[in-house]
Amino acid sequence: MGSSGSKSAPEPVRTSFVQNLPAPNPELDKPWRKFEWTQKEALKKKLENFTLDNPDVKNIKILVAGQVGAGKSSFINSINNAFQGRITSRALVNSSGGDSRSFTQNLKGFTIKSGKKSLPFVFKDIMGLEPDALAGSQTDDIINAVFGHVKDGYKFNEEQALTHKDQNYVSEPTLSDKASCLVYVIAADTIQFTDDKLIDKLKIIRKRISDKGIPQVVVMTKVDEACPLVNKDLRKIYTSKKIKEKIHLCSEKTGLPLSNIFPVKNYHEEIDTDDDIDALILKAIEQIVEIANDNLEDSC
């Protein structure tokens, strides 16, 4: 006798149509900012011969602030490298995989030299910013440092900003004591994750010093870590869609115009200098120094 059960109909074969779409092009058809990659020596010579418009000031003071780990001290070293033609480490830095707290604890100024010649600008390194209220440098300390109220060598206190009663407080700073420009160093690879509390601190600083006419710029570091295209070829920095997006995001977060934001690559693992890295660094410095000099001229 045959089986009384009936065989179930075979399941239809389902064909999956996977469309192999090409990956979107990460590169723009033309650069979003013009840049001459062969201008290193011309920029270097221009900065070596730079003269201040205000005869009462010997050096332009430029304060370098930014989030912990963004590369403030590495940026200062990279400037020095570009002029010295070798890897230097005047501003001490911590490894990126180490402590998340600021490695810089004291306010320190770095005069830049080309060979043995001292150039007329000083970059001042300050304790890094952190989102928490009682961590990193205090907003009042950064503001006071811009206005020249903080003596070089002062060790920052995360829990208490410097007051006028402290021996490290300069009550009546001269024009030479004051910073003529504030540089924020922001990492391109983490800008989208930047804590709102940190952005709020930047906005407080921005408003307070803008009221006194102090210009600000952003140096955007770690472009090679933010974009694979740039990691392979630094000259793709101004055709990279990703870096352009990062610049626009940075402008939105900080409130600074695009023209005041400069993407760079710091030296961090190299043992020799590189002309393309130097060209980006020197162009940023040219713009920063000219902005600072304009501010000095307005103070005459």
E strand residue ranges, the chain: 60-66, 108-114, 117-125, 179-187, 216-221, 261-263
Identify whether the C-beta of residue 26 lies closer than 8 Å to the C-beta of residue 240: yes
pLDDT at 1: 46
The SS3 call for residue 117 is strand
**Domain segments of the chain as ranges:** 58-298
State how far the Cα of 198 lies from the Cα of 190, in Å rounded to an integer: 13
- The DSSP result for 118-130, as a single string, is EEEEEEEE-PPB-
Q: Token digits for 258?
A: 């695009």
In CATH, 58-298 is 3.40.50.300: yes
Q: From 131, 133, 128, select the one nearest 63 (Cα to Cα).
A: 128
pTM of the model: 0.85
Q: What is the pLDDT along the chain (300 residues), one digit of tens a residue?
A: 444 445 555 565 555 445 666 778 889 989 999 999 999 999 999 999 999 988 888 899 999 998 888 888 899 999 999 999 999 877 656 555 444 545 567 888 999 989 888 999 999 998 877 665 545 567 888 999 999 999 888 887 777 778 888 888 889 999 989 999 999 999 999 888 777 778 888 888 999 999 999 999 999 999 999 999 999 999 999 999 999 999 999 999 999 999 999 999 999 889 999 999 999 999 999 999 999 999 887 765
Angle at 9 between CA 6 and CA 11, to 5 degrees: 150
With 0-12 / 13-18 / 19 or more C-beta atoms within 10 angstroms meaning exposed / middle / buried, residue 33 is middle
Strand-strand pairing, 60-66 and 179-187: parallel
pLDDT at 198: 81
pLDDT at 130: 63
Identify whether the C-beta of residue 209 lies closer than 8 Å to the C-beta of residue 146: yes
Strand-strand pairing, 261-263 and 108-114: unpaired
